[in-house]
Amino acid sequence: MILLALSTSGRAASAALLKDGVPLAEATRDAGLTHSETILPLTCELLEAHGLAPSDIDVFAADVGPGSFTGVRIGVCAINAMAAAFASPVVAVSSLIALKEGLPDGSGPTCALIDARNGNAYAAAFDGNVCTLQPSAATVAELLPTLPPRTVFVGDGAAAYEAQIAALVPDACFAPPERNLLTALPVAQAAWKRFCGGETVFEAIPLYLRPTQAERLYKGKK
């Protein structure tokens, strides 16, 4: 059984393949937020390199965010379109869940942190496989005092707010820098677990934890 996952919520555009839950291949292009130009050619190249066509995919998985509003929409729309074309199941995975998935088992208390600019972040916290803080938007100053000592931080927010984290979370730890870049492989691995547990959807829906800029501007004019 072949699973295809796309990730476009962050800086990189990425696609990954699993075969029966085992990583088959991943392709990532970190060229800035140009995902509308890169994700479909990247996906086609990955499939062709392994002698596959979209019709060979059994399960489609989408990184639904949070992250770049436009980036999330690009990946979600691509996955939904391919899944609808072949009447295949979809699995939705939060970018925060995927960041945690990329860490080794036994990492202890973990916080996946995505920079939302100006002292804001998207965050989720875990103790082993238990989610202790559901994906949410918060200021870093509000979030950090709620986390236990020796929490492991991962994501671009961990790098952006490293000094604040070190000051406010006793004995805070940081994932290796390469883990902070979200790619499609941990999305695929988290999606496979959900698929095996029967957690599929008809279509993926973007996970927006804050209003979009257009929504904020509209409200400001009312």
| HEC-encoded secondary structure of 46-87 | HHHHCCCCHHHCCEEEEECCCCCHHHHHHHHHHHHHHHHHCC
- For residue 72, which phi and psi values (nearest 5 degrees)? -60, -45
Tokens 């499939």 belong to residue: 47
Per-residue pLDDT of the chain (222 residues; tens, 9 = 90+): 999 999 999 999 999 999 999 999 999 999 776 899 999 999 999 999 999 999 999 999 999 999 999 999 999 999 999 999 999 999 999 999 999 999 998 878 999 999 999 999 999 999 988 999 999 999 999 999 999 999 999 999 999 999 999 999 999 999 999 999 999 999 999 999 999 999 999 999 999 997 655 554 445 555
3-state DSSP call for residue 166? helix
Tell me how many domains the chain contains: 2
Same domain for 88 and 7?
A: yes
Same domain for 85 and 151?
A: no
Same domain for 121 and 83?
A: no
Structural domain of residue 191, as residue ranges? 2-95+182-221
Q: What is the CA 62 to chain-centroid distance, rounded? A: 8
Same domain for 202 and 165?
A: no
C-alpha separations of 172 from 110, 152, 190 in Å:
10, 6, 25
- List, in order, residues 6 or more apart from 180 with CB less than 8 Å away: 99, 154, 155, 156, 158, 159
Same domain for 47 and 157?
A: no
Same domain for 23 and 86?
A: yes
Please say whether the beta carbons of 130 and 169 come within 8 A. Answer: no
CATH code for position 132? 3.30.420.40
Same domain for 14 and 64?
A: yes
